[in-house]
């Protein structure tokens, strides 16, 4: 897989920092892995810091990511996606929300964390 990631557990939520140049298929496999392992995480929310991902730039790819997030991470209360400002399409957010997942895309880490920590 042409990407790497680090997982850090914090009180109430987990931070997953990912970077690299994954294909859509590789990123979907990563989300499937996160879906399986996140059932054992201590909190019920996650921040995916995707600012280091240099691929997956199209609306269609973002749509597919939103679908997979809704499938794999349904057991989590909130999912924050942190991306570079020039990558925001809201496609993953809208797609996941239509499937009942509370996913919000952010460009500021502090705002994402504040949202995750809200009751």
Q: Calculate what percentage of the chain has a pLDDT beyond 90.
A: 97
Mean pLDDT for the stretch of residues 53-82? 96
* pTM of the entire predicted model: 0.95
47: its two tokens: 């921040």
Residue 70: pLDDT above 70?
yes
| Bridge-based pairing state of the strands 45-53 and 103-106 | unpaired
Mean pLDDT for the stretch of residues 9-33? 97
Domain residue limits, the chain: 3-117
H helix or E strand, kind and range, residue 8: strand 3-10
Is residue 49 helix, strand or coil? strand
Fold entry, domain 3-117: Transcription Regulator spoIIAA (3.30.750)
The model's confidence at residue 1, banded by pLDDT at 50, 70 and 90, is low
The model's confidence at residue 14, banded by pLDDT at 50, 70 and 90, is very high
Residue 103: pLDDT above 70?
yes
Q: Which of 84-98 are b and which e, b meaning 16 or more Cβ less than 10 Å from the residue's Cβ?
A: eeebebebbbebbee
Mean pLDDT for the stretch of residues 87-110? 96
């Amino acid at each position: 897989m042409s990407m790497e990631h680090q997982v850090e557990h914090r009180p109430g939520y987990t931070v997953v920092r990912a970077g690299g140049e994954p294909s859509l298929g590789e990123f979907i496999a990563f989300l499937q892995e996160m879906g399986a392992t996140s059932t054992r995480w201590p909190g019920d929310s996650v921040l995916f810091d995707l600012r280091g991902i240099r691929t997956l730039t199209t609306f269609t790819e973002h749509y597919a990511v939103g679908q997979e997030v809704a499938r794999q991470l349904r057991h989590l209360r909130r999912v924050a996606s942190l991306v570079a400002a020039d990558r925001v399409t809201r496609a993953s957010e809208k797609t996941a929300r239509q499937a009942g997942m509370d996913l919000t895309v952010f460009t500021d880490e502090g705002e994402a964390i504040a949202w995750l920590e809200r009751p």
